[in-house]
Amino acid sequence: MTTLYSEFQNRVKKIKLLESAYSVLQWDMETYMPPNSDKSRGEQLALLSTLAHEHTVEPRVRELVNQLSQSSELTPEQAANVREIKIKLDKAAKISPELIIDLNKTMVDALTAWNQAKKAADYNIFKPYLEKLVILHKRRIEQTGYEGEPYNSLLEDYEPGITAAEVETLFAQLKVELPKILRQIQASGVKPRTDVLLRHFPVDRQEAFIRETIAEMGFDFSIGRLDRSAHPFCTSFHPTDARLTTRFDANNLRTAVGASFHEAGHGMYEQGLLIGNFGLPLGEAASYGIHESQSIFWERFVASHPGFWRHYFPRLQAAFPEALSDVSVDEFCFAWNRVEPDFIRVGADEVSYCLHVILRFELERDLFSGNIRFEDLPEIWNQKMQEYLGLTPPDAAKGILQDNHWAGCLIGYFPTYALGYMYAAQLREAAQEQIPDFDGLIERGQFAPIKQWLNQNIHRHGKMYKSKQLVERISGKPFTVMPFVNYLQEKYSRLYK
Ligand code: ZN
């Protein structure tokens, strides 16, 4: 059995190596590739993805997985690796090659149409492509099958183990609690000075501050990089090679600094996966939601903590004396944590953020159950925006066309953003109980025990557990919205008196 397992491991690792080479080229495309080199890059990417696909569908891989699935001699970790690969192969085998080609082609056209539609603020330019994408995804769901409702099949791609009905229950509670907190904040009449983040902050000094701070948090620059791109992201090719990107705005300190803290959280997860498991499911992140929980944990629960700024604000002030000499640490921290509903999800504060996600989840789910018509989407979007956040977008570019997730075939992905917040909040509660002097560590800038706790409890397990199971295992409590709601209530009643 051990020889069979090592053959399985070698084959699976080879597929991962091809996929990570693909990711290197993709990263380069977003960062350093000259603008007119896309044609040759397209050929390189197509070759690597074809090779990876060929290695995946080789009959021998299926044979090995079938034999190993029957075996009782595997360790629990080995059995989990086989289980996860089997799920992946089973799903892939059900989808027809024609449908994959059709989806990819439609996605490219949809992204182009979305770009034009957003520029013109005209939903009708994008509508036919969205309709076609939904039809193709419905076909995909028919082919793969589903449990409960069709939407579950999409959710399963990003957040295995959680159903749309469970998400609905969690979101129903957030829909009550979050607007309540928003109303309390608005009724308080207290307002931070937000101008302090919108002064002039020279970009080279921002970058120096970011590099120093995320290195102290625990992002290891000997096995990682930080570069620039149009939209911040994190990618990784191996636990010894994680790449972050950010985007600078000399007149807004949050743009690069906030995004870098967020991406560093993703990067530390990738660096914390076990090298010995590279190529196997246990060497991969548990889910998109858990990945997001790690970025939220660092961005919001560590790097927005008042103690964090008591430690770092003097350095920031020294780096930007012109902009910050007349600002106190409390004023800065309040501005950093200000709550102000906006049309745009990206950059939303932590009270309103999940309401943006809930809106998208509800629309997606209704599209797949046939409860709404495509022509009514912008109107329903605006109604929900008014209902949840008290705002009506001035046009479709600031409304339904603001994200390109649907055009990019990320349908069923949005819930992972809000689940990430809720997982992170429950993990933070557990960390506070289990790490001695959690808040004091943040205030002293001593992040090593926090990072080690995340490494031990989350990172090293890879895909051993489903996300909810992982969170419940660590916290010893059922997964609920309450840690998140309690955190917000406590924090904002203090800030907004
Ligand atoms: Zn993220």
353 SS3 class:
helix
Handedness of CA 284, 287, 293, 299 (dihedral sign): positive
Average pLDDT for 195-211: 97
Ligand 1 mean position, distance from CA 264 (Å): 9
The residue among 130, 463, 422 whose CA lies nearest residue 281 is 463
Ligand 1 mean position, distance from CA 314 (Å): 28
**What's the CA gap between 389 and 417, in Å, rounded?**
18
**What's the CA gap between 5 and 3, in Å, rounded?**
5
Write down the catalytic residue from 263, 299, 350, 364.
263
Ligand 1 mean position, distance from CA 133 (Å): 24
Q: What average pLDDT does the structure give for the chain? A: 95
Ligand 1 mean position, distance from CA 448 (Å): 22
| 411-442 tens-digit pLDDT | 999 999 999 999 999 999 999 999 999 999 99
Ligand 1 mean position, distance from CA 259 (Å): 9
| 50-96 tens-digit pLDDT | 899 899 989 999 999 999 999 999 999 999 999 999 999 998 889 99
Annotation says 263 is catalytic: yes
| 141-183 tens-digit pLDDT | 999 999 999 999 999 999 999 999 999 999 999 999 999 999 9
**What's the CA gap between 416 and 158, in Å, rounded?**
7
Ligand 1 mean position, distance from CA 292 (Å): 5
**What's the CA gap between 416 and 316, in Å, rounded?**
33
Q: Which helix (H) or strand (E) holds 201?
A: none
**What's the CA gap between 427 and 468, in Å, rounded?**
11
Q: Tell me, what's the pLDDT at 347? A: 84
Q: Tell me, what's the pLDDT at 1? A: 61
CA-based max dimension of the chain: 69
**What's the CA gap between 159 and 422, in Å, rounded?**
13
Average pLDDT for 309-320: 97
The pTM of the full predicted model, rounded to 2 decimals, is 0.95
**What's the CA gap between 143 and 141, in Å, rounded?**
5
**What's the CA gap between 85 and 78, in Å, rounded?**
11
| 330-373 tens-digit pLDDT | 999 999 999 999 999 998 999 999 999 999 999 999 999 888 99
